[in-house]
């Protein structure tokens, strides 16, 4: 594994992100891709669960919010679809393996391949280098960014969705399982944007509301020219501070951009918001990163 230097960690603290090329091997990437194909092959999607995944606020509220399927996916392996891949009866218009937007949110707990990667010795060592004392894994996702239809992800901060007191306790590990390029929708960041808090939170709505989640506050307006693209090759890892502003564009290319990503919380002296959509359950308390 690429040895992480103090200089790189310092850079992470300044920028709010860090690119570590070739952190995982091609074999490790392929084992994750092969495993996800097996999971899709066995996928049975009940029609009422066919929620399309969206990042636009209203659609987010309408499709995820009206859906218990999303809200109760923290301790399960569930499927979320791209827009326009299902007809009004909930049947696939394209092959199902090309229709999926993401699979979440507990691959790290229930799938042996993803569990092994999440808790791999190099990830644990990186956690220690970063000074994490009691890191726990809160969620994981496999993101497909399908060719031609992989939707854009608008500028956001992960802490909007995963809120802690105090802030600064959430860290994303984003692993490229294929080359991520400007053409197929690599991540874009505003360097240093992790130092001014958050302006928006997604919270569980009061019981009896028409949606399960709602947004409090509003997203800042970001200047497009401040974003820099971070293309990265297969096996590369991007560390993402919970408050750094990032986005990705629509994938209009012919190639997919598969990613496995998981979020870690430093649990020492931290409280996880009871209002977060994602909650630990008796079946799955947040597992320690260190084994």
Query: Over the stretch 107-153, which tens digit does the pLDDT of each residue have?
Result: 999 999 999 999 999 999 999 999 999 999 999 999 999 999 899 99
Residue 84 has what pLDDT? 82
Query: Distance (Å, rounded) from C-alpha 57 to C-alpha 161?
Result: 13
> Residue 90 — pLDDT band, cuts 50, 70, 90?
confident
Percent of the chain with pLDDT over 90: 77
- What is the pLDDT averaged over residues 41-49? 71
pLDDT band of 216, cuts 50, 70, 90? very high
Between residues 210 and 166, the one the model is more confident about: 166
Decide if 147 contacts 99 (C-beta within 8 A): no
3-state DSSP assignment of residue 109: helix
Closest CA to 192 of 12, 30, 8: 12
pLDDT 10s digits, 245-262: 999 999 999 999 999 999
Average pLDDT, the chain: 91
Alpha helices per DSSP H over 42-178: 57-59, 68-71, 107-110, 112-118, 121-129
Q: What is the pTM of this model?
A: 0.93
What average pLDDT score do residues 51-80 get? 71
Cβ neighbours of residue 48 under 8 Å, at least 6 residues apart?
69, 90
pLDDT band at 85 (very low <50, low <70, confident <90, very high): confident
The average pLDDT across 264-281 equals 97
Domain ranges of the chain: 6-272
Domain 6-272 has CATH 2.60.120.620: yes
1-5, 45-49, 223-227, 234-238: range with lowest mean pLDDT: 45-49
Kindly tell me if the per-residue pLDDT of 66 is higher than 50. Answer: no
Q: How confident is the model at residue 96 (pLDDT cuts 50, 70, 90)?
A: confident
What pLDDT is recorded for position 65?
43
Specify whether the CB–CB gap between 74 and 106 falls below 8 A.
yes
């Amino acid at each position: 594994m690429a040895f992480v230097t103090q200089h790189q960690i310092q850079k992470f603290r300044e920028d709010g992100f860090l690119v570590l090329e070739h952190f995982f091997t091609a074999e490790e990437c392929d084992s994750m891709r092969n495993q996800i194909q097996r999971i899709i092959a066995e996928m049975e999607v009940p029609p009422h669960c066919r929620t399309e995944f969206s990042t636009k606020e209203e659609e987010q509220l309408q499709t995820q919010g009206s859906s218990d399927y999303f809200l109760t996916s923290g301790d399960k392996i569930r499927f979320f679809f791209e827009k326009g891949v299902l007809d009004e009866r909930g049947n696939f218009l394209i092959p199902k393996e090309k229709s999926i937007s993401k699979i979440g949110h507990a691959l790290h707990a229930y799938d042996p391949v993803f569990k092994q990667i999440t808790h791999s010795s190099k990830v644990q060592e990186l956690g220690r280098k970063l000074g994490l004392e009691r890191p726990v894994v809160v969620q994981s996702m496999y993101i497909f960014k399908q060719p031609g239809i992989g939707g854009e992800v608008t500028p956001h901060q992960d802490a909007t969705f995963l809120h802690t007191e105090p802030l600064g306790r959430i860290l994303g590990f984003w692993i490229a399982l294929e080359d991520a390029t400007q053409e197929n929708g690599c991540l874009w960041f505003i360097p240093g944007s992790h130092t001014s808090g958050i302006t928006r939170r997604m919270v569980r709505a009061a019981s009896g509301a028409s949606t399960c989640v709602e947004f409090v506050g509003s997203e800042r307006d970001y200047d497009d020219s401040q974003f820099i693209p971070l293309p990265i090759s297969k096996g590369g890892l991007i560390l993402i501070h919970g408050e750094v502003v990032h986005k990705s564009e629509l994938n209009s290319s012919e190639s997919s951009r598969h990613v496995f990503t998981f979020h870690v919380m430093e649990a020492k002296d931290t409280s996880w918001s009871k209002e977060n959509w994602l909650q630990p359950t008796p079946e799955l308390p947040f597992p320690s990163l260190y084994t």
